[in-house]
Structure 1
Amino acid sequence: MSSDVPDPEDVDAPAANVEHVRIEDEMEQSYIDYAMSVIAGRALPDVRDGLKPVHRRILYAMDQMGVSSGSSHRKSSSIVGETMGDYHPHGDSAIYDTLVRMAQDFSMRYPLVDGQGNFGSMDGDPAAAMRYTEARMAPIAEELLADIEKDTVDFQSNYDDRLEEPAVLPAKLPNLLLNGSSGIAVGMSTNIPPHNLGEIVDATVHLIDNPDCTVEDLMDHVKGPDFPTGANIVGKDAIYSAYSTGRGRLRVRAEYDVERSEKGSDRIVVTELPFQENKARVVERIADDVNEGKIEGVSDLRDESDRNGVRVVIDLKRGANVDVVENQLLEHHLESTFGVINLALVDGQPRVLSLKETLEHYVDHRKEVVRRRSEHDLEEAQDRAHILEGRLRAVDNAEAIVDLITESADRDEARAILTGDVALAEVEDAEFEYPNVQAELDFSEDQADHILRMQLGSLTSMEAAEIEEEYEDVQETIDYLQAVLADEQKLLGVIKDELREMQEEYDDERRTTIMEAEGQVTHEDLIPEEDVLVVITEDDYIKRMPAANFDPQKRGGKGIIGSDPKEGDRVSKVFRANSHDYLLCFTNQGQVYRLKTYEIPEMSRTARGKSAVNLIDLDDGEEITAVVNTDDFEPEECITMVTRNGYVKRTCAADFENILSTGIIAASLEAGDALVDVEVTDGTKDLVIATEQGMTIRFDETEAREMGRNARGVNGIKLQEGDHVAGLVATEHGDDRSLLTVTTNGYGKRTKLSEYRAQSRYGKGLIDIKTDERNGPVTTVKAVEDDDHIVVMSAQGQIMRCPVANISTVGRNTKGVKVMEVEAGDGVASVTVVPGNDEE
């Protein structure tokens, strides 16, 4: 009785065939296999022909279809179908997208496909469906396939082993550099820019002649990438980096001109865009920035592009700053970065290559192609010479040959007689007129077959002369090919000659210009250079406003709103600066911070401002009390500071050149003291210290010796009880300026600085202004000239600009005149001086 129960000995048989592996090892190996498949079979070009498999298969399919540059155009759907059916079974859309790109003159420097129909545009418009477009190979594409039938490259089976396809194309030109390539593989990507054919050919020939040349030598010929859309590459350093290391970041800038319109306003006309930029999207982004106020001064924007090229017109308003608009457009829209990654497959492995290495691999490929082609041509020439030798002997023995053939029973017997395989004596019933000719002929099988196919007309004496001439030509070819194969220099000469032929046929003018790096756009370039007023409140809100926005008024006015501090906050400081100045911001706690004026947000008169903690790292209770505008310090200059309690100190300005983002110590302060004012001096100045109760003292700055940043300083003025320092002015002998003193209640006066005689440091000083109930305490002192203007700011945010000339010049110890009308509960917070010609 049979049983379905398996034999116990066979139960573990399947398990014995199971291989145990660690899952992480299996996943690692599987992922590596997948990655290499993507790298080698899809995403990266071959260094030899510069093509990915899909490009190579499309061109080879077109070649096999006979869709050459001299044929009529064929439907793209037909080409895609042949490629997908025979060589590339990855979907028609991927193949058609590749075909389209090879036909776009704005994507390929030297298009490989001649398209007919809608193949897309720089605006990002897609190509028409493949059933509507037609294509054929461009002439230069045929140069990539030239001699492929001469066993110049290896072939491999296609995906179903039904056909064979080339593993690489012969490539008469270094296509990898001519058209570039881009692709994302697994864990790596490539981005190779296109180049000018003439320059690449010159560099390749130079490399052949000088194998030990450097990248710098090659750059004498290759100036840089040459993009199909033109534009400009800014700076040569990035080009050298890309060529020497295989990696670099190129700044590509649009080509544009500034023109004057018929209406008298300026306009910026863009005629070339950076490579791979979508023109419609660029125009749209510019329009968005104009509408949002990020770009000011633009009145109109038009895209006037046509088949002849790009033309985007940006009309500017009258009075707009052309340089600022240009720089804003460059930073955000008209300049892009092209990251060069010269990654290609070398012997099936991805490698980042320098310019020289790329050309070396191409030359090696062409050496192999020319060698194999020469071997193929030599074999054909030798075969042809062998046939011609037989024909010549046949012509010389025409009568005997005819007799031999006509007396033979059939073609096979005739062939056997001509080759000597059958002796004439063995032929039955045949009477040969030339029984001894067989020993003289001795034809080979190929020669005998050719003779049997010859027509009688080819045995004439004229035909014999032509055969003799052809035989001599073939012998010359044989000698030449043998010489090429025997001498590498001659082989390299063939490569150079062919490259020069390609250069003569396809070279064109360079499209992309190389610019010097001085044109680099920085954020500072986007800011118009102008005098601004910076307003700071006690709660450390800060903003800037153009000084030109405030018209001069007569003294004694209320002014206009210059700031709107929040409830409980008050304006503490207003000062003038240039928008491109570096500011050293000194705080009441003795710290100093560095800030660019343009980093302070520009706001309207009625705006509160932005918290200063967003710009500088202020501590709780720390506020800015003094600001110095400077770019660079001279070696002899000092920062001279005065504190609320009357201490003065000088520190070498060089100690403030490297300021951390968190600030550095400017002065060490006693408890209850605060830093009040700062001046830049050079060792030749006199210092004038003014107090809130109207006292001033003038002394030589050298009486306060230079000290380190951590020092407290020395006594500058002997203060009366309840008095504090209000400000500091630096002057010198012969200074014809006046000392402007302004009090809290809006009164002020001017007194010639010469009236303040010099004393020794740490004296009580002289009376400067009366600080009675009408005037109130002194707020600030400034050194002014007759044609200056002052900007007075109240604590409540009122602001007034007034010519200095409107304020009387009087002696010391006077009450002064009303400078600004301040309301009850308000008072003058700060005064700054601006040049009088700002109003022009």
Structure 2
Amino acid sequence: MAPMARSSRSGSRAAPDPSEPFVEKIVDIDVSAEMEGSYLEYAYSVIYSRALPDARDGLKPVQRRILFQMSEMGLRPDRSYVKSARVVGDVMGKLHPHGDTAIYDALVRLAQDFALRLPLVDGHGNFGSLDDGPAAPRYTEARPAPPATAMTTGLDEDEVDFVPNYDNKLMQPEVLPAAIPNLLVNGASGIAVGMATNMAPHNLVEVVAAAQHLVAHPDADLEALMRFVPGPDLPTGGKIVGLEGIRDAYRTGRGSFKTRATAKIESLTPRKRGIVVTELPYMVGPERVIEKVREGVQAKKLQGISAITDLTDREHGLRLVIEVKTGFNPDAVLEQLYRHTPMEDSFGINNVTLVEGQPRTLGLRELLTVWVGHRIDVVRRRSQFRLGKRRDRLHLVEGLLLAIVDIDEVIEVIRSSEDAGIARARLMDVFDLSEPQATYILDLQLRRLTKFSRIELEKEQDELKREIDELEAILADEQRLRGVVSDEMGEVARLYGTPRRTILLDSAGAGVSGATGVAPAVGTGRGAKAPALSLEVADTPCHVLLSATGLLARTSDDAAPSREGARHAHDVIRSVVGATARADVGAVTNRGRVVRVSVLDLPSLPPTQGAPSLSGGVPVTEVAALEPGEKVLALVALAPDAPTLALGTKAGVVKRVAAGDVPNKDVFDVIGLKDGDEVVGAAAVADGDELVFVSSDASLLHFAASSVRPQGRAGGGMAGIKLAAGAEVVFFGTVAAHVRDGDGSSEGLAGAVVVTVAGSSDALPGTQTGSAKVTPFELYPGKGRATGGVRAQRFLRGEDALILAWVGAAPARAVGSGGQPLDLPAPDARRDGSGQPLAAPVAAVG
């Protein structure tokens, strides 16, 4: 292609003389080279300055500038809101040379709790929804959310580098200190030139636990880190079905997973059943689901649906009610909805982020390594800054103390000097002071020359020396520096961490082959193109299982679940009860109620070697009508010949419910609780078994079940354990007279173990690791009912209570809040010894 020419005129000149000919300067440029160079500059600008987040603070430039400018404006979470337009205007005028629409859109996303797992902006007004956009910036107000302070704190202590803004008049941070692993916690999405990023949100507590493990063990592999971060934790909850794609993404930076809505089948009227949706997949709005359902019904892709109603409100949250026609199986209709509507959606992970200015695709370990390295660098720079400041201050304090000793001579030198410069020079010469010390003395106020001021200065001198020694020790010892970083990570998790919202499932469970949701044809038998859907299940014996994360399932046969290999991926079994497929079992709650659960409504687990995996289970809240704050503690059989039920309360009350006292009700009480009391444990028990209490002050008491007389359901029980002042029961359970241990080699009470976890009673639940101890149950002597127990664990410094306890058959397995397995220490033969520190917080033992 022949090069084209263009004219170039630059500069200013005097008016041309009409008598002289005009000469035009023409520069020949290769169009292809010009276009290539211009496009590369544009592409680099989009990649580096707009679309991709930095791996260190997880922010795009516009987001970083918004948080920085809000900090510079003096906005704080505890101060009043300001108009969003004011924030947008300051960011646009000082830092971000782009349009106000782009800045406001970024501000809105930082405030949306359905888009970010940990919002960084506290919005006041209409900031939009999944189906509607936000109000204009003149109508909304904003201020930083509490986590935003952790992102910007330390900017005045030289923790990060500053760079000029677009016109070189102001300075802005190249990256924020980012005490929060924002990139993993909040995720990111963006489309650049030739590349894109799409990162899923995660749980802050889990990510921090993995980062702390990486700080302590820099060579930790991906499998070790995934024990702390089993999968994403989406802001809108829901379920993640299938974990293989997540493992691929954590390993290579690319992968995908399916998200499902949380739905349960309810009776809408005495003769009408429906599907109630309470959580939708990430970034899927209810209006989109409603539209797809209506389109599916009109196109006859969805059958059996008579109506769909959106009952979502601010008080109860999302609630979509889908009415099912009479004669259609709600389970089959739900499967159709998963298959043909956004109630099941796919999320593609593409972890593209900027590392040292270059776009890279990172896995979980690499993302954590970059953030941990950034935090180590931030803490090192901050320590160096503080060390310099304290050394400078100590230098001034030492000079002032020298001056106070000979204050009369100092005053005489100053009074006899002609001007300040001469006085400074004479002070430096007479008292051997440096120039900063002499200047500081000249600027000194006379009121500082009192005896009390000298005492304060000497105290300040000692404090400065102590701080300097501590800072020097941190900078001189890499392990100590890493310890400071790890402690700060733990504090962030304690302040801003929240429980997991998304349930992780290995698979969706076995579906019904050929299910269409169509009722069987009656009469002529013509027109039935698909086989009739039948959920007739034989009333065969099975076992119903309850996991530590609140999942329910049933086994497909009568084989009792073995404790051998009971350690699964992300869960342990909390309670097991024998039943039949068409029977009911009871779910005992902390409110002293028993809620009937139909075994037929629970998913059937395939036969496995060892203990079954509950990854295909259903949350207990989907099959049991629980009140707010109510939780299921155990499962019990409801057959008339079932053994008696034993219950223990937080106040130390024990009760045995008489056998056969089972009313024909869906919900009934089994104990009369006093105000403020609640049930902490329940289990079936025989006369020869042992009842066990463990209190918060580390006392363990066990006594024979035969010493507790069975009562009717209305009874309030009797004294079980004598509690010390301020103590409460943290565990109640039973130990069978004949317990077979994990390898099946012995029988008797020797097969049971006691697991105790100690910590601080003031800490936020689920954030402290604490120390754990595992002890054989046979080491604890039995005592009488209504007496005090024996000490089960000695507290370490900073510990004042047991935060968790469990007594049962070995081997004991521990899990975190997301069900991920955690290691427990080896059994300790010391009954009242102290525990061993844990690597992560323990949520349950089973």
TM-score (norm 1): 0.59
For residues 66-109 of structure 1, what are the alpha-carbon distances to aligned partners after superposition, in whole Å with 9 as ceiling and x for unaligned?
A: 11223211110100000000111211111111111111111111
Distance apart, 1:285 and its partner CA? 2.0
Q: Distance in 2 between matches of 1:113 and 1:72?
A: 13
For residues 282-307 of structure 1, what are the alpha-carbon distances to aligned partners after superposition, in whole Å with 9 as ceiling and x for unaligned?
A: 12221332344332222222111111
Which protein shows a greater Rg?
A: 1
SS of the aligned residue for 1:399 comes to helix
SS of the aligned residue for 1:261 comes to strand
For residues 294-337 of structure 1, what are the alpha-carbon distances to aligned partners after superposition, in whole Å with 9 as ceiling and x for unaligned?
A: 32222222111111311111121222211211011111221100
Cα 1:525/1:102, change in 2 over 3 Å: farther
For residues 540-574 of structure 1, what are the alpha-carbon distances to aligned partners after superposition, in whole Å with 9 as ceiling and x for unaligned?
A: xxxxxx664526xxxxxxxxxx69xxxxxxxxxxx
For residues 613-667 of structure 1, what are the alpha-carbon distances to aligned partners after superposition, in whole Å with 9 as ceiling and x for unaligned?
A: xxxxxxxxxxxxxxxxxxxxxxxxxxxxxxxxxxxxxxxxxxxxxxxxxxxxxxx
Cα 1:528/1:298, change in 2 over 3 Å: closer
> Are positions 1:378 and 2:387 aligned together?
yes
5 Å-filtered alignment, 1:698-713, equals: none
Instruction: Give the alignment partner of residue 139 of structure 1, picking from 143, 146, 162.
Output: 146
Structure-2 residue corresponding to 1:108: 116
SS of the aligned residue for 2:167 comes to coil
> Are positions 1:45 and 2:57 aligned together?
no
SS of the aligned residue for 1:295 comes to coil
Instruction: Give the alignment partner of residue 492 of structure 2, picking from 498, 502, 505.
Output: 502
Structure-2 residue corresponding to 1:54: 62
Distance apart, 1:391 and its partner CA? 1.4
Cα 1:340/1:525, change in 2 over 3 Å: farther
Cα 1:391/1:246, change in 2 over 3 Å: same
One-letter amino acid of the counterpart of residue 44, structure 2: M
For residues 109-131 of structure 1, what are the alpha-carbon distances to aligned partners after superposition, in whole Å with 9 as ceiling and x for unaligned?
A: 11110111111123x22211111
Query: In 2, are the aligned partners of 1:324 and 1:525 still within 8 Å (CA)?
Result: no
Instruction: Give the alignment partner of residue 97 of structure 1, picking from 105, 119, 133.
Output: 105
SS of the aligned residue for 2:468 comes to helix
Query: In 2, are the aligned partners of 1:232 and 1:513 still within 8 Å (CA)?
Result: yes
Distance apart, 1:175 and its partner CA? 0.6
SS of the aligned residue for 1:258 comes to strand
Structure-2 residue corresponding to 1:550: 524
| Structure 2, unpaired ranges of 5+ | 1-16, 535-846
5 Å-filtered alignment, 1:417-566, equals: 417-420=426-429, 438=430, 441-519=431-509, 524=513, 526-528=515-517, 548-550=522-524
Cα 1:450/1:225, change in 2 over 3 Å: same
Q: Distance in 1 between matches of 2:313 and 2:418?
A: 78
Distance apart, 1:577 and its partner CA? 8.5
Structure-2 residue corresponding to 1:762: none
Q: Distance in 2 between matches of 1:78 and 1:577?
A: 62
For residues 684-736 of structure 1, what are the alpha-carbon distances to aligned partners after superposition, in whole Å with 9 as ceiling and x for unaligned?
A: xxxxxxxxxxxxxxxxxxxxxxxxxxxxxxxxxxxxxxxxxxxxxxxxxxxxx
Structure-1 residue corresponding to 2:36: 28
Distance apart, 1:245 and its partner CA? 0.9
Q: Distance in 2 between matches of 1:577 and 1:136?
A: 58
> Are positions 1:366 and 2:375 aligned together?
yes
For residues 12-60 of structure 1, what are the alpha-carbon distances to aligned partners after superposition, in whole Å with 9 as ceiling and x for unaligned?
A: x967xx5765x44443343222212111111100000000011011111
Query: In 2, are the aligned partners of 1:120 and 1:128 still within 8 Å (CA)?
Result: yes
> Are positions 1:155 and 2:162 aligned together?
yes
One-letter amino acid of the counterpart of residue 264, structure 1: R
SS of the aligned residue for 1:168 comes to coil
Structure-2 residue corresponding to 1:319: 327
Query: In 2, are the aligned partners of 1:152 and 1:369 still within 8 Å (CA)?
Result: yes
Cα 1:464/1:304, change in 2 over 3 Å: same
Q: Distance in 2 between matches of 1:120 and 1:81?
A: 21
Q: Distance in 1 between matches of 2:426 and 2:208?
A: 57
Cα 1:415/1:576, change in 2 over 3 Å: closer
One-letter amino acid of the counterpart of residue 179, structure 2: K
Cα 1:20/1:91, change in 2 over 3 Å: closer
Distance apart, 1:453 and its partner CA? 2.2
Structure-2 residue corresponding to 1:758: none
CA RMSD of aligned residues (A): 2.5
Distance apart, 1:578 and its partner CA? 4.5
Instruction: Give the alignment partner of residue 83 of structure 1, picking from 91, 95, 99.
Output: 91
Cα 1:170/1:577, change in 2 over 3 Å: closer
For residues 396-428 of structure 1, what are the alpha-carbon distances to aligned partners after superposition, in whole Å with 9 as ceiling and x for unaligned?
A: 2222222222333333332222122xxxxxxxx
5 Å-filtered alignment, 1:91-490, equals: 91-122=99-130, 124-308=131-315, 309-333=317-341, 334-420=343-429, 438=430, 441-490=431-480
For residues 323-371 of structure 1, what are the alpha-carbon distances to aligned partners after superposition, in whole Å with 9 as ceiling and x for unaligned?
A: 2110111112211001000110011111110000011111111122122
For residues 772-824 of structure 1, what are the alpha-carbon distances to aligned partners after superposition, in whole Å with 9 as ceiling and x for unaligned?
A: xxxxxxxxxxxxxxxxxxxxxxxxxxxxxxxxxxxxxxxxxxxxxxxxxxxxx
Q: Distance in 2 between matches of 1:526 and 1:360?
A: 48
One-letter amino acid of the counterpart of residue 413, structure 2: L
SS of the aligned residue for 2:277 comes to strand
Query: In 1, are the aligned partners of 2:305 and 2:324 still within 8 Å (CA)?
Result: yes
Cα 1:148/1:289, change in 2 over 3 Å: same
Q: Which moved more, 1:152-161 or 1:176-185?
A: 152-161
| Structure 1, unpaired ranges of 5+ | 421-437, 531-545, 552-561, 564-574, 582-840
Q: Distance in 2 between matches of 1:52 and 1:313?
A: 39
Distance apart, 1:489 and its partner CA? 1.5
One-letter amino acid of the counterpart of residue 302, structure 2: I
Cα 1:3/1:116, change in 2 over 3 Å: closer
Query: In 2, are the aligned partners of 1:234 and 1:520 still within 8 Å (CA)?
Result: no
One-letter amino acid of the counterpart of residue 237, structure 1: E
Q: Distance in 1 between matches of 2:21 and 2:135?
A: 65
User: Which structure has more helix as a fraction of its residues?
Assistant: 1
For residues 742-764 of structure 1, what are the alpha-carbon distances to aligned partners after superposition, in whole Å with 9 as ceiling and x for unaligned?
A: xxxxxxxxxxxxxxxxxxxxxxx
Q: Distance in 2 between matches of 1:175 and 1:396?
A: 53
Cα 1:526/1:377, change in 2 over 3 Å: farther
Query: In 2, are the aligned partners of 1:331 and 1:521 still within 8 Å (CA)?
Result: no
One-letter amino acid of the counterpart of residue 140, structure 2: T
Identity of paired residues, percent? 47
Q: Distance in 1 between matches of 2:179 and 2:514?
A: 47
Q: Distance in 1 between matches of 2:218 and 2:437?
A: 47
Structure-1 residue corresponding to 2:742: none
Cα 1:342/1:3, change in 2 over 3 Å: closer
Length, aligned pairs only: 516
SS of the aligned residue for 2:249 comes to helix
Q: Distance in 2 between matches of 1:510 and 1:254?
A: 16
Cα 1:518/1:409, change in 2 over 3 Å: same
One-letter amino acid of the counterpart of residue 143, structure 1: A
Q: Distance in 1 between matches of 2:100 and 2:197?
A: 24
5 Å-filtered alignment, 1:744-783, equals: none
